[in-house]
Amino acid sequence: MRIDLHVHSNASDGTDPPAEVARRAAAASLDVVALTDHDTMAGIAAAVAALPPGLTLVPGLELSCAIPDHGAPLSARSVHLLGYLCDPGDSALAAETELIRDDRTRRARAMVARLAELGAPVTWEQVSAIAGDAVVGRPHIARALAEAGVVATPADA
């Protein structure tokens, strides 16, 4: 059995729409794929709707978490927790992930502002246009830096 339990779509920082993720998983001869976008389950319904025969979708997400750093009481370490078989309709989970996404947006805005201070010709409008409806993340900022010619490729950012 071939399984991939950590796949992103463009609902967060992946490049393909959820339906295409499902099609590509089937084309790669996977039996099971978990859609685990960052802090959102927004792509699950589209992936389910496009699910090819023979492919099982595990609904999930990659949840951003903070673990207290006991060596530095006022700081925390950021970790990502993979959650599987989550209910996209769970209102408590939706409320928590909305708070996390709001925090991600604040951090991304701060990164863009700092880049502007350093002279990089990247704006929040550019980054949010690249992200579209997705959860904004560093890959979107990296793409904006590449489009602005600051770096050759997003990987260089």
Dist. CA 138–CA 27, nearest whole Å: 29
**95 pLDDT more than 90:** yes
Supply the DSSP string of 64-133, one letter for each residue.
EEEEE-TTSTT-EEEEEEEEES--TT-HHHHHHHHHHHHHHHHHHHHHHHHHHHTT----HHHHHHHHTT
CATH of 1-88, one of 3.40.50.300, 3.40.30.10, 3.20.20.140, 3.55.50.30: 3.20.20.140
pLDDT mean across residues, the chain: 93
Burial class (CB in 10 A: 0-12, 13-18, 19+), 13: buried
Helices 138-147 & 91-117, crossing angle to 10 degrees?
Answer: 30
pLDDT at 73: 66
Mean pLDDT, to the nearest integer, of 8-31?
A: 95
pLDDT in tens, 26-42: 999 999 999 999 999 99
Dist. CA 12–CA 88, nearest whole Å: 15
Answer yes or no: are the C-beta atoms of 100 and 87 closer than 8 Å. Answer: no
Q: Are strands 3-7 and 76-84 parallel, antiparallel or unpaired?
A: unpaired
Q: In this prediction, what percent of the chain has a pLDDT beyond 70?
A: 98
Q: Are strands 32-35 and 56-68 parallel, antiparallel or unpaired?
A: parallel
pLDDT at 67: 85
Residues near 124 by beta carbon (within 8 Å), at least 6 away in sequence: 109, 112, 113
- Domains of the chain, by residue range, sit at 1-88, 90-151
